[in-house]
Amino acid sequence: MALFFSRFVGALALDAGAYESVEADRSSAMQSVIVVVAVCISGGIAALGLGLTGLAGVVNGAVLSLGAWLTWAAVITTFGTITLPEPQTKADVAELFRVLGFAAAPGIFVGLAAMPAAAPWVLSVVAAWMVAAAVMAVRQALDYRSTTRAIAVCAVAWLLTFGVLAAVALFLGTTVS
């Protein structure tokens, strides 16, 4: 339990060592899943402040959060390992998904967006923090020497993920803020 909390706090603090620890430890997969589930639950709670109501709103928010994370992770994996790898990059999807699970850790605070007045600020800060965590995670997991390359991978992933979410929102008749 102590190792999990150490990794979780390290992920929040953007500590490269925490991401390396998760990458190297195959048994940390369930810990990564726990982080993603907690973030999705927090996303469900945030949905209440974003206009969705009741249990259905919480479930919809959690499902959308999971879909966003899965899209994000898949795009990062594709771009990071196929489109923009460095010569020393070795593509281990399981490692990358474990590390990206922990990179979602700042999303635990998205639940604060349940307060409508705070929602724009919370969403902006948490989104920026999650992108920064993902950059660190990608750099470590894909053994990039260049932080710029990790930023490029995460920026492309963010744009594509946002586009997918916007399309889903249009399909469902809602808006993405």
- Tens of pLDDT along 136-152? 999 999 999 989 999 99
Closest CA to 72 of 24, 104, 43, 111: 104
Contact yes or no for 125/106 (Cβ under 8 A):
no
pLDDT attached to residue 39 = 97
pLDDT in tens, 63-118: 989 999 999 999 999 999 998 888 888 878 899 999 999 999 999 999 999 999 99
In a domain, residue 74? The reply is: yes
Range of the domain at 57: 17-172
Query: How many domains are contained in the chain?
Result: 1
DSSP structure class, residue 145:
S
In a domain, residue 5? The reply is: no
* Three-class DSSP category at 126: helix
C-alpha to C-alpha distance for 21 and 17, rounded to whole angstroms: 6
The sign of the dihedral angle between the CA atoms of 86, 88, 94, 100 is: negative
| Residue 175 backbone zone (phi > 0: left; psi -120 to 50: alpha; other: beta) | beta
